[in-house]
C-alpha cells in the first residue's frame, strides 16, 4: 500500500499592490504550477496597515489578525517581491514586520520559504531578493537556496492579460514549488 503524504499548505504574498503587478501575476502563475500535493493561499496585502507599535497596544487590526491566522496555518511561504531602489518593496517588508512580532504570535518563525522576484529591469529583482534573504535570518524564516527565480524584463514574459507566457519562467517556478514542497517535508519530517 502506498504511503499517503500530508498535503503542504503554502501561503503566498506579493509585495506590490498594483492592479497590473507582475509580482502578483507571478503568484497567480504559481497557483497553476503547484505540485498536486500542495495548496497555495494568496493573501491580499492591500488592507494591511503600516506597522505601528501603537496599534499593538490595542486589539490588532482585523486584516493583520487574518494575515497572522493564515500564516499560522501555513506549512511554508512563497514570497514574490518587486525591487524598489535595490531593495525589498515596502509592502512585503511591512507584512513581514507584522508577522515578526510577539503581538501576532510570530507565526512565520521556523517556517520554510521560497523567494521569487519580478522586475522590468535586467536583474530580475536579484538585489531585493538578497536583502530579503538577510531579513529571513532575523525573523527565522528558512529560505530555500535553489532554484533561484528572477523574472527579468517581466514586461516581455506576461501577456496583456498578465498570464505568464514564458515557458522558461513557467518551468523555473514549477521547479521552485516542487523544491519548496520537498524542503518543507524535510524540515517537518512529513
Ligand X SMILES: Cc1cc2nc3c(=O)[nH]c(=O)nc-3n(C[C@H](O)[C@H](O)[C@H](O)COP(=O)(O)O)c2cc1C
- The stretch among 18-26, 28-36, 52-60, 162-170 that binds ligand X (CB under 6 A) is 18-26
Binding flag, residue 29, ligand X (CB under 6 A): no
Residue span 101-140 as binding mask against ligand X, x where in contact by CB under 6 A, dash where not: -----------------xxxx-x-x---------------
Cα angle, residue 90 at apex, residues 76 and 77 outer, rounded to 5°: 5
Helix (H, G, I), strand (E, B) or coil at 120: coil
Binding flag, residue 86, ligand X (CB under 6 A): yes
CB of 15 to ligand X, least distance (A): 7
If you search the block for the grid coordinates 518593496, which residue do you land on? 89
CB of 170 to ligand X, least distance (A): 17
Give the C-alpha separation, 185 to 75, whole Å. Answer: 9
C-alpha distance from residue 87 to each of 71, 133, 165, 169 (Å): 23, 11, 26, 22
CB of 87 to ligand X, least distance (A): 7
Binding flag, residue 184, ligand X (CB under 6 A): no
Binding flag, residue 98, ligand X (CB under 6 A): no
Binding flag, residue 158, ligand X (CB under 6 A): no
**Closest CB to ligand X among residues 122, 138:** 122
C-alpha distance from residue 69 to each of 47, 49, 91, 108, 130 (Å): 15, 16, 18, 10, 27
**Closest CB to ligand X among residues 133, 185:** 133
Is the preceding omega at residue 147 within 30 degrees of 0, hence cis? yes
CB of 113 to ligand X, least distance (A): 18
Indicate the residue whose CB is closest to ligand X.
121
Phi/psi class of residue 75: alpha, beta or left (left: φ > 0; alpha: ψ in -120 to 50)?
alpha
Give the C-alpha separation, 111 to 108, whole Å. Answer: 6
Instruction: By CB under 6 A, name the binding residues for ligand X.
Output: 16, 18, 21-23, 82-86, 118-121, 123, 125
Amino acid at each position: 500500500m502506498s504511503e499517503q503524504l500530508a498535503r503542504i499548505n503554502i501561503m503566498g504574498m506579493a509585495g506590490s499592490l498594483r492592479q497590473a503587478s507582475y509580482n502578483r501575476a507571478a503568484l497567480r502563475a504559481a497557483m497553476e504550477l503547484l505540485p498536486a500535493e500542495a495548496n497555495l493561499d494568496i493573501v491580499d496585502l492591500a488592507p494591511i496597515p503600516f506597522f505601528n507599535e501603537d496599534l499593538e497596544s490595542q486589539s490588532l487590526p482585523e486584516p493583520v489578525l487574518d494575515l497572522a491566522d493564515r500564516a499560522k496555518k501555513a506549512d511554508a511561504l512563497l514570497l514574490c517581491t518587486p525591487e524598489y531602489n535595490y531593495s525589498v518593496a515596502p509592502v512585503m517588508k511591512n507584512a513581514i514586520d507584522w508577522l515578526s512580532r510577539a503581538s501576532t504570535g510570530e507565526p512565520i518563525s521556523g517556517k520554510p520559504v521560497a523567494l521569487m522576484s519580478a522586475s522590468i529591469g535586467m536583474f530580475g529583482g536579484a538585489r531585493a531578493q538578497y536583502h530579503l534573504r538577510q531579513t529571513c535570518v532575523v525573523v527565522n524564516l528558512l529560505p530555500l537556496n535553489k532554484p533561484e527565480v528572477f523574472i527579468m524584463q517581466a514586461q516581455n514574459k506576461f501577456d496583456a492579460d498578465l498570464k505568464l507566457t514564458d515557458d522558461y519562467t513557467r518551468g523555473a517556478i514549477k521547479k521552485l514549488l516542487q523544491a519548496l514542497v520537498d524542503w518543507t517535508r524535510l524540515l517537518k519530517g512529513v
